[in-house]
Each structure stands twice: as C-alpha cells, then as structure tokens.
C-alpha cells in the first residue's frame, strides 16, 4: 500500500452538517476501496488564493491515507461528480 494525501475544498455556502457528511462520504470511499484513513484534518473556512467561479472562500479538508494505486483514480472520479467540491488534489507522499 502506498501513502497518499488529498486536499479538497467545499463551497462556502455548504452548511456544517453537509460538510461533515461530505468528509464522511470521502472517508467511506477510501475505506470501502480497501484503503486506510490515517488522519483527517479539517481546516475550516478559509480564503482562496484566487477566485474560482466568483467564489472567494471555501471549507478546506486534508485527508492522509494508505491505499492501493487504483483507489486514487476512483476517489478523483468521486470528487469530480460531487456537487459542492470546488477543487481537489490527490498526491502520493514521498518516502
């Protein structure tokens, strides 16, 4: 299993319950895909470096996980089709 981390930004109009539900959804995708969530760090609402579709802030969440190489592709697909996700990135951590 390889170590990965992902950061995703949710739209600022998302309510607190929906933010928590989205985080649990993405954790579930990782765990159901055979991965292990090592750490979830919710950063809260922060200002974006630049506006995206006239949105200037969002809810940031960092998730560190271990998984097989196929799981990040599925997680990326889920991020793309989920309403409310402004931006996301998945990177493999170096040893």
> What are the pLDDT tens digits along the chain (95 aa)?
899 999 999 999 999 999 999 999 999 999 999 999 999 999 999 999 999 999 999 999 999 999 999 999 999 999 999 999 999 999 999 87
CATH of the domain at 25: 3.30.70.60
Task: Count how many domains the chain has.
Answer: 1
pTM metric for this prediction = 0.90
CA distances (Å), origin 8, targets 52, 82, 95: 14, 11, 23
- Please give the residue range of the domain that contains residue 50: 2-92
């Amino acid at each position: 299993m390889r170590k990965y981390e992902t950061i995703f930004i949710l739209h600022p109009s998302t309510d607190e319950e929906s933010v928590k539900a989205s985080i649990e959804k993405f954790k579930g995708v990782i765990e159901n895909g055979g991965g292990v969530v090592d750490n979830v760090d919710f950063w809260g609402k922060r200002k974006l470096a630049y506006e995206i579709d006239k949105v200037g802030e969002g809810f940031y969440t960092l998730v560190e996980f271990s998984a097989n190489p196929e799981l990040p592709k599925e997680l990326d697909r889920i991020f793309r089709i989920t309403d409310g996700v402004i931006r996301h990135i998945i990177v493999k951590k170096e040893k």
